[in-house]
Amino acid sequence: MKKRYLAAAAMTVCLLTAGCTTNYIPDLSDEEMQMVEEYAANLLLKYDRNYKATTISQEEFEAKKAKMERLAAVRAQIKEQKEREAQEKQEQEAASSEGGDGDEGSEGGGRSSGPVYTDIDEFFGINDFDIEYSGFSVSESYPEDRAADDWQGTVHASAGCSLVVVRFNVTNKIGEEAVLDMTAIAPRFTFRFNGSSSKASMMTLLLNDLSNYRETLQPGETREAVLVTELTADQAAGIESLTMIMKTGDSRAEHTLM
């Protein structure tokens, strides 16, 4: 049984590796996904027992429990993302057959008409927070300063590729603490580079991944959130313009970042 849990833990690491020309979401079997879920559930029970035995503080218990609950939700998130991508692929193929242009391809896609929103939070109907683009960076891995006991792991670029880490400032603009739960919105993001090359953001286990961000912020507090995608090293080195395509449900909008 212990080997199964170790294997499940290893699979969570596999979620963080992929090539720059392939789908980032791994093709895990139902049995493998169940192992991930069982692993997270057993860790929750472990920390629950430790908490009741007063071997860890309430703060430590709550922090570890939140992390394990998020890991347990990975299975459902991956399934939903796969279903969305399959549907969008069908829509793109249908549009192409009718002479239209799509925007979800890995290396192309024309500009589609649609509203341009000044505020990201406005598009998603978020009232308590400001979400503002703050820049991007190109690196071989992210994050670079991960703690040794941080289960979220590190996203690594594949051979010949670089990660493009698009950064945002998330600010609580009301006078009381508030929770930003992007998982309830189920957003999808795609980036168009230099007006042509388009890549969807990766689905990661990063705690500050904007697409599945779920944190409590104090009044006036600002934290950083990111979206990560991958380009060839040459493409990443030549970024001159950047547009973000946002989707939720049937709504779609484009936001020029630079």
**155-202 confidence digits (pLDDT tens):** 889 899 999 999 999 999 999 999 999 989 999 999 999 988 899 999
Strand order in the sheet with 251-256: 197-200, 188-193, 242-248, 251-256
Average per-residue pLDDT for the chain: 75
Higher pLDDT among residues 86 and 156, named by residue: 156
Section 194-212 average pLDDT: 89
pLDDT grade for 25, boundaries at 50, 70 and 90 = very low
DSSP code, position 184: G
Distance CA 93, CA 135 (A): 33
Stated pTM of the model: 0.67
pLDDT in the model for residue 132: 96
Distance CA 135, CA 56 (A): 39
Q: Which two tokens stand for residue 70?
A: 């998020």
Distance CA 81, CA 89 (A): 12
